[in-house]
Homo-oligomer: A and B are copies of this chain.
Amino acid sequence: MTTSKPSTRDRILVAATDLFGLRGVDAVSLDQIAAEVGVAKQTLLYWFPSKDELLQGVLAQAAADLVLVVEAAVRSATDDPLDRIDAVVRAVFRPAVRRPALLGLIREVSRLPGPVAASLTDQLRPLADRAHAYLRAEMDAGRLRRADPGLVAALSYATVTGIATEPEALRVNGWEPTAAGLRRLRDELLAFLRAALAP
């Protein structure tokens, strides 16, 4: 549902996503976002009645983007379950590399309980449910090693977001959060998944 030319509302959404993701929601003031967009704070509050609703708007957009990316990856993959998993993981990593703020923001919000986090969870649930059902079906068909599909999905989700959203934290492991480093980590994760899920 993106309009063709960037409206004020869209520009606010983009700037807020980046700033929230980069510095953390609480650390970013409406004034800073407004300055980044080049409008007055009141214009923000015109489009989004409160900071909370702005955050919700940002998250709705981010979740929608994530859903689109994953669905495109699924459609473009072959029938082989390991290939599909591969494609989805790569798809999730791609925007995370290009725009680390997005997944980082999702993760920050999910960390604390509350209505905003609950709403986000609701938006991502269909995606998770489909992955869940898919894994179960493939395991039943003997094309993946049997395991609890919910646990596998949760595990993969935790790992992917853990890597993609907090590359700075991984420095403690002597690893550098460059784009090349992220790709190597992604490939290692894929190797892990193959080793653990191959029938």
Residues of A in contact with B (beta carbons under 8 Å apart): 23-24, 26-27, 104, 106-108, 110-113, 117, 121, 124-125, 127-129, 131-132, 147-148, 150-155, 157-159, 161-163, 165-166, 168-175, 184-185, 188-189, 191-192, 195-196
Q: How far is the CA of A155 from the CA of B159 in the complex (A)?
A: 7
> In the complex, which of the residues B148, B158, B196 contacts A166, with contact meaning CB atoms closer than 8 Å?
B158
Q: Which residues of B contact A147 (CB under 8 A)?
A: 188, 191
Q: In whole angstroms, what is the CA distance A71 to B188 when docked?
A: 26
Contact of B111 with A188 in the complex, beta carbons under 8 Å: no
Contact of A196 among B157, B168, B192 (CB under 8 A): B192
In the complex, which of the residues B113, B159, B168 contacts A110, with contact meaning CB atoms closer than 8 Å? B168
Minimum CB–CB distance from A53 to chain B (whole Å) comes to 18
Contact of A23 among B112, B124, B189 (CB under 8 A): B112
Q: A159-B155, A166-B158, A188-B147 are in contact. Are A129 and B196 (CB under 8 A)?
A: no
In the assembly, what is the distance between CA of A125 and CA of B159, in Å? Answer: 20
Q: How far is the CA of A139 from the CA of B161 in the complex (A)?
A: 27
Contact indicator A159/B157 (Cβ below 8 Å)? no
Contacts of A195 in B (CB 8 A): 195-196
